[in-house]
Chains A and B, each alone.
Chain A
Amino acid sequence: MQSQRGAALIAAPRVHLTASEWRQLRTAAPFVLPWVIGFFAFTLYPIIYSLYLSFQSYSGFGDAVPVGFANYKHMFTDPLFFKSLYNTAYYTLLAVPIGLVVAIVLAMLMNQNVREVAIYRAAFYLPSILPLFALTFIFIVLLNPGFGLVNFFLGLFHVPTINWLGDPSWTKVSVVILAQLGAGGPALIFLASLRAVPTELYESARLEGAGPLRRFWHITVPLITPVILYDLLYGTILGLQIFTPAYILVGGTSGGAAYTAGPDNSLLFYVFYLYKNAFQYSDMGYASAMAWVLFLISIVLALLIMRWSQYWVHYEGA
């Protein structure tokens, strides 16, 4: 790994390029240029500008006033900042592992040798392409404490009514459940990797007397670890960004009395608080500081996961 990283860096264009390498660049340029331009304009520049803004006090009107590290210092004394971090962490720690398990279970179900499996596959995948805002609206109706279907079901088992969207202990759980409707996409990817496991491995294991559970743990799981890694990484990044369901459930900029983001600010996710600071409190400097902290957290988490993955991911070949 180290040598390969070194090789990649050396391969990166530095100073000395042969004539043929220049020609290659010229050939490739018209193809990749759109992405390069877009990267600089819509990704790199905004990130740097965001960093600049994070050191300013800027309401969005008039001029930005430099204030040094004031915005970052403010974060440490802002209870809502920590609340929003907690809410997002809570959600991510719940949604990612659950999502992983659901996707794998779904994939195994989709892999069954049942004649009409294509129908089931379609059923599992369909919700993942439906617009999230529409699914949120449906959940509002399903989870209503008075007449919602879910509470009715629970009542049949003598479970007391849960105020899914009004009880601070349950609001995030509701969003986690909502997110599982999107498990169809990752499940398909897991399905593909399940199919890629050579059957001879299972055969020889069975001949040696290994039961289904042992076969699962020692053959299936190791061979799908690259997909698990991908799902973990992508799921974590998605978890950090959670916003839309919270915004809709809270009523966004409601004409009513939603001064907190959900009961006891339980739906005040990090990005939601960022948005409020930028557009409701007109504190774009502080919001930019929050954006950069999120950026750093994402990088650190991604690196940590990648480092940890060395111990359990099996790559096929090299």
Chain B
Amino acid sequence: MATAREAREAPAPPLTVAHFPRPRPPLMDRLVPKGVLVRIGLIIACIFFLLPFYWMVNSAVKTTAELTNFPPTLIPQVFDFGNFYRAVTYIPFGTFLLNSVLLTSGVTLGAAMSNPLIAYGFSRVKWPGRDFVFGICMATIFLPFPVLIVALFDIFAKLGWINTFLPMIVPAFFGSPFFIFLMRQFYLSLPNEISEAARIDGANEFQVFLHIILPLAKPAVAAVTIFAAVQAWGEFLAPLLFLQDESKYPLSIGLQFYRQSHDVAYNLLMAASTLIVLPIVALFIAFQRFFIQGVTAGSIKG
């Protein structure tokens, strides 16, 4: 396993919350007249990244006949919005959606409650062995989850937790290294003096955390919450292992299983996918700032 120093250095890109002024692009500015070449590159890349999304919506409003047409039409000749209605009624969409919401809410709650707390202990309190233990915490990022699935399944089966949401929600309340790292990065940027001042005033550590630090950490907590929610919404392997009843499936595996026992036309599948993806897109548009700042630990503004 990586040493404490390596673990501290390696997964953490050397980002600080220093505000760098927007630099002149180092490479292309002399070469390219008026950024034309750049724009071409940007647009081509844009096409690649947005194509799946566009094609999903495009296919979702086509009729089956037009969908299997060759050559494929970039814009539907006939718009069939009934596909959305059919997707939601032919597939038990409502059940899957409710399960997704429950699962995501539980996991997000756990993440929002545990990670700020844990990261505080790893950053704003000195204690012997802190960096070593933190190193272990970071090292677990590099432990592939599939290594644990057989054992976890057996353990949860013996606990009687299979076919409930517990195997996914309960661990969320015990922190997750990625989010601990994110919160810790943020905490490290806050000056020591504010904690010291509160301690001198007689506050115990928990009060310092709750009343001083946490209110300042709202953007980071928001980022953790959003990331946890997005991740839980798309979770596939864990529900696949731990849920048995179709009535408990979230959207991720529900849709896939329904495809296997029933004939789901591609346009319905795309319509259902569009509905599944829509909340994430909406969340992104509304909170883009938090996504970007969260990923880069605050180095990039908006």
Contact = CB atoms under 8 A, between A and B. Distances in A.
Give yes or no for direct A-B contact (beta carbon below 8 Å).
yes
Interface of A: 1, 4-5, 8-9, 11-13, 17, 21, 24-25, 27-32, 34-39, 41-43, 45-47, 49-50, 53, 60, 105-106, 108-109, 111-114, 117-118, 120-127, 129-135, 137-142, 146-149, 152, 155, 181, 184-185, 188-189, 191-193, 195-197, 199, 202, 212, 215-216, 219-220, 226-227, 229-230, 233-234, 237, 240-241, 243-244, 247-248, 251-255, 271, 274-275, 278-279, 284, 287-288, 291-292, 294-295, 298-299, 302-303, 306, 309, 315-316
A118 to B, nearest CB: 7
Contacts of A17: 128
B26 A37 contact: no
Nearest to A216: B27
Interface stretch (B78-86, B216-224, B273-281): B273-281
A230 B178 CA distance: 13
The binding surface of chain A is classed by DSSP as helix
Interface string B115-150: 001101110011111111101110011111111111
A234 to B, nearest CB: 7
21 contacts: A4-B4, A8-B4, A31-B117, A43-B140, A49-B154, A53-B150, A113-B29, A121-B292, A125-B292, A149-B55, A181-B49, A196-B20, A202-B23, A230-B11, A251-B259, A252-B257, A271-B144, A274-B150, A279-B241, A284-B150, A291-B150
B212 interface: no
A312 to B, nearest CB: 13
B10 to A, nearest CB: 6
The binding surface of chain B is classed by DSSP as helix
Closest 7 A/B residue pairs (Cβ): A38-B174, A31-B121, A131-B234, A32-B121, A46-B151, A8-B4, A192-B299
Contacts of A248: 256
B1 to A, nearest CB: 7
Contact of A27 (B125, B144, B233, B276): B125
Contact of A39 (B14, B42, B137, B292): B137
